[in-house]
Structure 1
Amino acid sequence: MLFEWLKLLSGKRIILASGSPRRKEILESIKLGIEVQASDFEENLNPDDFKHFSEFVTETAYGKANDVVQKTISDTIPVHLVIAADTMVVIDQQIMGKPKSNHSATTMLKTLSGRTHKVYTGVVLIWPETNEITRFCESTNVTFAKLSDTIISGYVSTGEPLDKAGGYGIQGLGGSLIESIEGDFYTVMGLPLHKFSYHVNDHYKNVK
């Protein structure tokens, strides 16, 4: 979907407002040249202040994107696009963040075992030159296989769960725990690729 714009995009300064190696990997997989500048936005929004999880996660992404826009606004080389995203896992209407210990990772995985949960990724794209802002959120249903205590402890011992929302990484060893998904795989990985491409394509098509 971005094929016709790749040459144009190669001359643009594009910043990923995230230190996530997974989001960087997704963008580089489509030959998009990016800078990485992790946002210092304090992720302290209260989910209870929003009507839906999708609004919460998208507003968090906006905070990250806007932080980087403000930091780079006076740069000698202008920024053409800032990309930010935020991902969260929800089950039983409860948000499962990143586990802080092996114990909390084990508890999360036991909760997910044999059940279906939802992953939301909110994305915000800001084009500073035109002050255009695009917001969107995608969700994907993920069903875990029934996990034995041995499988859970073995996975936790790898250390992979500790920096992952919900305590697992679909693109790594955690993918072996998943029985099925309904929706975009990349939403779970951290950046819904199709919708991202759609909105970037739409922007450049309209300003061509």
Structure 2
Amino acid sequence: MPALWTHPEKLLLASTSTTRLMLLVSAGLAVETQNSGIDERTVEEAAALASPDPASLAGRLAAEKALAVSRRHPERVVLGADQVLACEGQVFHKPADRDAAKAQLQKLAGRRHALHSAGALAIGGQVVERFLGSAHLVMRPLTEEAVDLYLDLAGPDVLRSVGVYQLEGLGIHLFETVEGDHSTILGLPLLPLLSCLRRLGCLAL
């Protein structure tokens, strides 16, 4: 049977994100995962000094993740990815608990925000490809009761999302408009990633 992935080693995803893993597997790629182990907040603080731009921050975080794992496995093609949510000049992070999730949804309600999803491919401890996708979403105005109901229905899994929503599930009820590629919203722009992998000779198709 012909193979789509042509590199002798599987793609190494520098993340334990099940959503990103499933996106890659669904696209027919041979993938393994490994936690990058980087301190994201430390990287973010350093990046903010260089550039406060949220898209640049996403790119910096993705590159640092890819490099951390690539240094441990220089023979592998390593993929780092990260997503930054920005609304009216403020960068948001994954909430620590339900109270933080509620506060974040109340800030986003009735407003337009951007999701910047960046990726980097590293080989031999060097970044060889970078890519970025951005999406823009407008959340409905939400009452406090609506936010509480959503969090009750969605459960603790939403704490794993920077936006406190999972658009592929109940999170779709929170929005008025969504502009952008679905995989970008989920945290990994697949089309630019596949283009990069073709340039590196990793795909037969």
Give the structure-1-normalised TM-score: 0.86
| TM superposition outliers: structure 1 runs of 4+ over 6 Å | none
Instruction: Summarize the alignment of residues 10-49 of structure 1 with structure 2, pairs less than 5 Å apart.
Output: 11-43=8-40, 44-45=42-43, 46=45, 47-49=47-49
> Pick from 185, 191, 194: which aligns with 2:191?
194
Question: Which residue does the alignment assign to 2:144?
Answer: 149
**TM-aligned CA distance change 1:119 to 1:97, over 3 Å:** same
Q: Is the 8 A contact 2:54 2:85 kept in 1?
A: no
Question: Which residue does the alignment assign to 1:72?
Answer: 73
Question: Which residue does the alignment assign to 2:89?
Answer: 93
Q: Is the 8 A contact 2:6 2:201 kept in 1?
A: no
Q: Does residue 56 of structure 1 match 2:54?
A: no
Q: Distance in 2 between matches of 1:190 and 1:7?
A: 22
Q: Distance in 1 between matches of 2:123 and 2:96?
A: 35
Please state how far the C-alpha of 1:128 moved relative to its aligned partner.
Answer: 3.0
1:24-46 deviation digits (Å, cap 9, x = unpaired) = 01001111110011110111121
> Pick from 145, 148, 158: which aligns with 1:161?
158
1:72-105 deviation digits (Å, cap 9, x = unpaired) = 23xxxx42x1111011111011011011121111
Identify the range of structure 1 (19-28 vs 109-118) with the bigger mean alpha-carbon deviation.
Answer: 109-118
**TM-aligned CA distance change 1:104 to 1:7, over 3 Å:** closer
Aligned length: 195
Please tell me the root mean square deviation across aligned C-alpha atoms, in Å: 2.0
Identity, % of aligned positions: 26
Q: Distance in 2 between matches of 1:182 and 1:164?
A: 18
Q: Which amino acid aligns with 2:62?
A: A
Gapped runs of 5+ residues in structure 2?
A: none
Instruction: Summarize the alignment of residues 179-190 of structure 1 with structure 2, pairs less than 5 Å apart.
Output: 179-190=176-187
Gapped runs of 5+ residues in structure 1?
A: none
Q: Distance in 2 between matches of 1:125 and 1:7?
A: 15
1:32 alignment partner, SS class? coil
Q: Does residue 114 of structure 1 match 2:110?
A: yes
Question: Which residue does the alignment assign to 1:133?
Answer: 128
Give the structure-2-normalised TM-score: 0.87
Q: Distance in 2 between matches of 1:193 and 1:55?
A: 19
Identify the range of structure 1 (164-173 vs 183-192) with the bigger mean alpha-carbon deviation.
Answer: 164-173
Q: Distance in 2 between matches of 1:138 and 1:50?
A: 21
Question: Which residue does the alignment assign to 1:178?
Answer: 175
Q: Is the 8 A contact 2:71 2:124 kept in 1?
A: no
Q: Which amino acid aligns with 2:64?
A: G
